[in-house]
Structure formats: structure tokens, C-alpha cells
Homo-oligomer: A and B are copies of this chain.
Amino acid sequence: MSRQAPTLEDVAREAGVSRATVSRVINGVRSVDPALQDVVRQAIERTGYAPNRAARSLVTRRTETVALIVSGAGDVADEDENAFTAQVFADPFFGRVVTGVVAHLRPRSMHPLLMFADSARTRQQALNDLRQGSADGALVVSTHADDPLPALLADAGVPTVLFARPSRPVPLSYVDLAHRDGARMAAEHLLDRGCRKIVTVTGPLGVSASQERLAGFRDTMARRGHPYVPVAEGGFTLDSGMAAMSDLLAEHPDVDGVFAANDLMAQGVCQILRERGRSVPDDVAVVGFDDSAAAVACRPPLTTVRQPVEEMASVMARLLTEHIQGVRTEPTSVIFDPELVVRASA
């Protein structure tokens, strides 16, 4: 920031035209004499001009930025906020969301503004930032079912798209996965390969995806003659998967099939199984969920239910840009189909 940055005015003077003309050239308005366009472009080059974003935003009312908000329900104490962000990134899931979002945004010269809303304070701040126009809209990934943020954003009239259907209806667009179908695939695969004693490690039950996966799993099991399925609740982390499997194994030593609600927990399940001398998949078959990097990293590689997170996130971003541009006005939902990926663990 050595000297004062050149403005439109400077370029106009240099090119011998009016500010309006320079502005037109920059914004690609057709009705400018090609010869003049060249003159202007050279003047821009010579002056090293770069348009001022704030000034432009003030009049266009666009920032070319969208907020990507990772939102929790709870009232995390202020001092625990960092633990939240650390945990969010421990799961490969969030990285995939970013990848998908960026894939859509990048060709449009937009960037995501990263926000975390895990306490009352940070939630309020995120809401304020959006109301102040820090971003043109919001992409919200909630880690809990009863997240209050979506409703707040909807009330504030902020264009918003959610990852996952909100537990209470909110007039917002969202993308989601047919979790029940995915869980059904897992159950059928386990059953079809001859497992008799099947258990499941669920995700945190405060997350609707966890509930759906559990419900779908139970449904199918019941339909296939297994009314009772032992359950242990995990927290979508590796550790919690290990703990859950330990418990399950203690109560049901004869287990021969496990469905874990995500790959990270499935990985923990496999580790415990191996430590206890059970071979996967020979003694116990294990099916995960997500098809994340953990599925491939796991020994043995996981048979899992694929959730196309990147595509879902891309579509989420697309819906948002459409809402922002006004080409889409009604809330829309897009539900993706899961897919069974068979590897070695089951």
C-alpha cells in the first residue's frame, strides 16, 4: 500500500474519456466503440488500476461472496469454541463440503467466507454479518438437528441453502441424502452375506442424519425378520466408534455384522475388532457410511454407503447462487441417492 491507488477518475483522465465509459469497458457493456475500448484498456494497464470492491458493492449490493457457516445447536461456552472448529475439521466430511462448494463458486469468481456458529454469541455474530451484507447469502452445515440459525436467517431474509433438511420446517432450500435408503442397503448387504447377529453404531442422535440412518437400518432388519438390533451411540469420531464397539462386543460376543453410521467410526470398530482377535470380514463384517478418505485408509478397506458430499455441496452452492440472482425464488430441495460401495470389510 505504498501510494494512493488509482481510481476510475484517474483512468478516465489518462484515457481521455469519462468515468462512465471506463466503467462500461470494465463491466463489459457492449455499447462501447472497440477503438475506445482499447484506449481504455491501455490506460488501465498503464495506471495499474484495480476497481474498488467496496465502492462497487455499495451500488450493486453484491459482494460476490457467500458465507459458509458451520453451525452447532448448542450453547458452547466461549472457551470451547476452538474445540468445536478442531473437531469439525477432524472429520473428512467438512473438507469434502468445502471442495464441492469451491468447485461451484470458483468459476464464478466467488469465494466462501468461513464462519463458525457454535455458541449464542457467534451465532448472533454470523447473523449480524449477513444482515450487514458481508456476504450475498449463506450456506449452512448444521451439526445438530435443532440448530436455530436457519430460522433466524430465513426471518432476516438472507438467501440461504442448508446441507440437510432442518428438523423443524423452515422456508429454505436444502440438499440432503436419502439416508434411510442408504441404511437399507447396508442392512441388506450384511443380511445377504449371511450375518446372523448384527449390531449398529449410530451417530449422535441429536443429528437427524443419525436418526434416519438408524431408522432405515432397523426398518429393514425388522422386515427381514430381525426385530431387535443392539445399538450403541457414537459421536461420528474414531474414538467414539472404538468405545461403542467395545461395549457392543462385551454384551454380544457372538456379533458377526456391524453397521457404523460413518466411516470414521467404522474404522474405530475395525481397530477394536482386530485388537480383540476378530478378523474383518471373516469373523465380523463391517459396513460404514460416507465413503470418505477413512474408508480407503482403513484396514481392511471399508465396504460403505457412498454419500456424494462434493456433488451435494456443489448443488447447494448452485441453488444459493440461483436464489441470489433471483432466477430461483421458491425453496427447493434436492435429495441424493446413496450407493453401496463394496470393498473388503463386508
Binding site for B on A (CB under 8 A): 1-2, 50-55, 57-58, 61, 63-65, 67-68, 81-82, 85-86, 88-90, 92, 94-96, 98-99, 102-103, 106, 109, 111-116, 122, 125, 128-129, 131-134, 157-159, 238, 267, 271, 274, 293, 296-297, 299, 310
Question: What residues of chain B lie closer than 8 Å to A158, measured between beta carbons?
Answer: 1
Q: Which residues of B contact A102 (CB under 8 A)?
A: 82, 85, 114, 116
**Quick check: A65 and B133 within 8 Å, CB to CB?**
no
Are A111's CB and B111's CB within 8 A? Answer: no
* Distance in Å: Cβ of A322 to nearest Cβ of chain B: 15
Interface pair B106/A95, CB less than 8 Å apart:
no
Q: Are B81 and A89 in contact (CB under 8 A)?
A: no
Which of chain B's residues have a CB closer than 8 A to the CB of A64? 134
Contact B297 A53 (CB under 8 A): no
Within the assembled complex, what's the spacing in Å between the Cα atoms of A125 and B105? 13
| Cβ-closest chain B residue relative to A1 | B157
Q: Among B54, B88, B267, point to the contact of A57 (Cβ < 8 A).
A: B54
CB neighbours (8 Å) of A85 from chain B are 98-99, 102-103
| Closest residue on chain B to residue A125 by CB atoms | B109
- Is A96 a contact of B106 with CB atoms below 8 Å? no
Chain B residues within 8 Å of A157, by CB: 1-2
B1 touches A132 (CB 8 A): no
A139–B300 CA distance with the chains assembled, in angstroms: 39
Which residues in B have their C-beta under 8 angstroms from that of A55?
Answer: 54, 58
A65 cross-chain contacts in B, Cβ below 8 A: 113, 134
Once the chains are docked, how many angstroms separate the CA of A68 from the CA of B94? Answer: 17
Looking at the complex, which one of B86, B128, B159 makes contact with A96 (CB distance below 8 Å)? Answer: B86
CB proximity of A39 to chain B, nearest CB, Å:
22
A293 to B310, CA, bound (A): 22
Chain B residues with CB under 8 Å of A52's CB are: 58, 132-133
Of B82, B86, B103, B112, which contacts A82 at CB under 8 A?
B103
A297 touches B50 (CB 8 A): no
Contact flag A159-B1 (CB < 8 Å), given A111-B115, A125-B109: yes
Known A54-B54, A112-B114, A297-B238; contact A122-B95, beta-carbon cutoff 8 A: no
Residue among B51, B159, B267, B274 making CB contact with A132, cutoff 8 Å: B51
Q: In the complex, which residues of chain B have a beta carbon less than 8 angstroms from the beta carbon of A1?
A: 157-159
